[in-house]
Chain A
Amino acid sequence: MDKGMSLASRLGEAGISRRAFLKYCGMLAASLGLPTAAGRTLAEALDAAPRQSVIWLSFQECTGCTESLTRAHAPTLESLIFDHVSLDYHHTLQAAAGEAAERARHEAMERHAGEYLVLVDGSIPVRDGGVYSTIAGVTNLQMLQETARDAAALVAIGSCAAFGGLPMADPNPTGAAPVGDLVRGKPLINLPGCPPIPASITGVLAHYLAYGRLPELDHLGRPKAFFGESIHDRCYRRPFYDQGLFARGFDDEGARKGWCLYLLGCKGPTTHNACAVTKWNDGTSFPIEAGHPCLGCSEPRFWDAGGFYRALSAPTGEPAPVAVAGLAVGAVAGAAAGFRHRRTRAAANAARPTVELGRDATGNEEERS
């Protein structure tokens, strides 16, 4: 593709009409929390935007995040927006390999110093000098620090890059860490999810391309536009939660009737993501719609949150043995205290002198008046 092509002509080439593009920009503006009129502004800004240099670093990951964005079926507007950026380095998607690939990264870093975006998927192992994952003889940690140095901003894509994800799950054998723990002093946006919703990735990219800055973020560095509300609050099964109607198994009456999946371990109440709104696979559905509880994949430590199929309110770990042991220890200690009290009382009774009627405690006859 010609690097000088505008986004509009690129979309036209792919058979996407101007009308469809404007409609998409309107939706994008709405999902980013911008006013309706911002759709046209966004379209104009995207049209005029220069091709943004992007370096995509893949570390301890499964390529699911890339897969989410570049799904194999018919090309989507999301993937076309993504195509509009100059993806100068990406293991899975670039044609170059080996030294040529690394050279491309270094060239992009030099040519676009201070301007390029670094997108990271996967966590970074730091234990034992970071030897658990290396690329071209360089540890992930070194590559991240080297690439981030002259970046304009970083985007942590997926839960592994944003919060550590599966590699950081207990017992975290490689000392995996998220991007935010290792790179300081650079604008960072977290786009968690396993994988993240494609619209959130392209939405953030489009926002950056159009306005040259990152959108508003929440306390975990996630764009509020996509992570501002919980799955529970936007869930179509919410009325069943309010009525106290719950599925208790995956094939019981409640499940067939589409009742709330809270008791089956749904983490929707504590999970912030746009799944219930944007849905997946071109708006087909989302996990809860398919009858499966939300795993909470866009929240920190979701792998260690006590089990996917255990209700959110249920304690983690095994409390029953603790309770039984506590009862036993308490009962034994209480019994000991009770018997000690008895013995003290018995000793006091034994030590008390016997008093006969008509005599005082010393045995002398009492004088009667």
Chain B
Amino acid sequence: MNGAMDWLLWAKGPGFQIALTVFFVGMAFQLASILLAGRKTDLSEPRGNPAAGGRRLLWRRMLPPPGMLERAPATYVAGYLFHVGIAVVLLLSAPHIEIFHALLGIGWPGLPTALIDAVTVVTLLALFVLLYTRLTDPVRRFLARPEDYVVWALTVVPILTGWLAVNRFGPSYTGMLAAHVLSVDLLLVAFPFTKLGHALTLFTSRWYQGTILGHKGVQP
């Protein structure tokens, strides 16, 4: 390892393979253990439709509860922006589509680089707004654990280094690209074992919670 190119080749070669292995082993483990552990059987007579409750909660939890948007606009607006932003940058940037193509054998059309660039800037701003509110709001600050800041950094660094690389900031494009891919490798490794795993486990938890509420006849 004596140059940026060496780091880049390691990051997208052996490093990526290791990260991908940890990611898939971890995520499959989490999901399989959750699904197969099952829930305690509720023997009571259902007062509503459990499946309908589950389905409803899957999307209902994506909307702010009544009044919350007005009470915490930064959290919701910035939250939506960075989630949608990450999805757009990850799935619709041409260089990223090539990664999925290598993994899945299929590709799809991407968006212009300039548009991806703009979305990236908005995503980064939203993430920094969320960090600011977390640091300045006493309640959020009290509730935040060190893991929350680690997860924030794990999310921000790949986006920031990717944006810096594309826009040729820093001494070397190759070096910045290596930093970008390495930070993604790190993100993949941490994904199943931190709050980042909610990208998948939110579906199981919402489904379980929705079915329980649906069984009791509650409209979540």
Contact = CB atoms under 8 A, between A and B. Distances in A.
Contacts, number: 152
A80 to B, nearest CB: 35
Nearest to B115: A244
Contacts of A246: 94
A313 B5 contact: no
B173 A269 contact: yes
Contact of B24 (A269, A299, A317, A327): A327
Nearest to A337: B33
A224 interface: no
B99 A313 contact: yes
Contacts of B103: 315, 319-320, 323
Contacts of B112: 242-244
Nearest to B8: A270
A5 interface: no
Contact of B113 (A219, A241, A320): A241
What bracket does the count of chain A residues touching chain B fall in?
35 or more
A243 B113 CA distance: 6
Interface in A311-358: 311-317, 319-320, 322-323, 325-335, 337-339, 341-342, 345
A360 interface: no
Contacts of B101: 314
Contacts of A331: 28-29, 31-32
Contact of B17 (A241, A304, A319, A329): A319
A244 B113 contact: yes
Interface residues of B, number: 52
Contacts of B177: 269-270
A198 to B, nearest CB: 25
25 contacts: A233-B168, A246-B94, A270-B5, A270-B173, A300-B5, A301-B9, A305-B5, A305-B9, A306-B13, A311-B98, A313-B99, A314-B98, A315-B17, A317-B13, A319-B20, A319-B103, A323-B21, A323-B24, A326-B20, A326-B25, A330-B24, A338-B33, A338-B36, A339-B36, A345-B40
B24 A326 contact: yes
Interface of B: 3, 5-6, 8-9, 12-14, 16-17, 20-38, 40, 94-96, 98-99, 101-105, 110-116, 168, 172-174, 177
Nearest to B2: A300
A312 B94 CA distance: 11
B9 A335 contact: no
Q: Sorted from nearest, which 3 A-B pairs have the closest CB atoms?
A: A334-B32, A338-B36, A330-B28
Contact of B102 (A269, A305, A319, A330): A319
A220 interface: yes
Interface in A193-226: 219-220
A326 B32 contact: no
B113 A242 contact: yes
A153 interface: no
A326 B102 contact: no
Contacts of A263: 94, 98
A230 interface: yes
A341 B35 CA distance: 11
Contacts of A116: none
Interface in A242-270: 242-244, 246, 262-263, 269-270
